[in-house]
Amino acid sequence: MRNTFGEIKMTSHYVIAAFALMSSCLATTGPESSAQCELSPVNASHPVQALMESFTVLSGCASRGTTGLPQEVHVLNLRAADQGPGQPQREVTLHLNPISSVHIHHKPVVFLLNSPQPLVWHLKTERLATGVSRLFLMCKKMTPSMTWLYSLPLAFFFFFFNQCKGRRFLLVL
């Protein structure tokens, strides 16, 4: 009986010590009562800026009627929500990468790039043959930008239309 009482007494000492340790930890880890959270507006000088980026592989229709022609023609007609004042100019990355069955793309390509909003086009290329022309037709309000993945000396030509209000183009090649 004495051993049982001694064990209970010893256990109670451990419980008291553990309780004292826990209460001291809780007292020091709580929030300070004087510290308040103040919300400030997020603007261009804020150190954290949000950037929404989405990557979408789009499918479209393909015509076999151009397979015998000396070049491919691609029309990219973007639709976007209205851009409010003070928002940064939108950017689109056009990644030219031939299908996996084609090791190096050798055919000249013509792109007609159209968007209702002014935007910056970034161009990334992979596995395109050197010395083959790529023709880009776009509105004057568009800005082309090149990003080279493999630093190939490719031939790119940009032609700008002064008036793109109707957004209807007749392309004769």
Rounded to 5°, angle at Cα 167 from 166 and 171: 115
| Stronger pLDDT, 70 or 156, i.e. the higher one | 70
Q: Against a cut of 0.85, is the pTM above it? A: no
Give all strands (DSSP E) within the chain, no chain letters: 72-77, 90-96, 109-114, 119-125, 133-139, 143-148, 155-161
Beta carbons within 8 Å of 75's beta carbon, 6+ residues apart: 111, 112, 114
Q: How far apart are CA 16 and CA 92, in angstroms?
A: 66
Partner residues linked to 105 by β-bridges: 128
pLDDT at 61 over 60: yes
158 pLDDT higher than 60? no
- Residue that is written with structure tokens 């209460």 in the block: 23
Quickly list DSSP for 84-102.
Answer: PTTPPPEEEEEEE---TT-
**Which tens digits make up the pLDDT trace of 26-39?**
444 444 555 555 55
* Segment 80-122, tens digit of pLDDT: 656 666 666 677 788 888 877 888 888 888 887 777 777 777 8
pLDDT at 128: 86
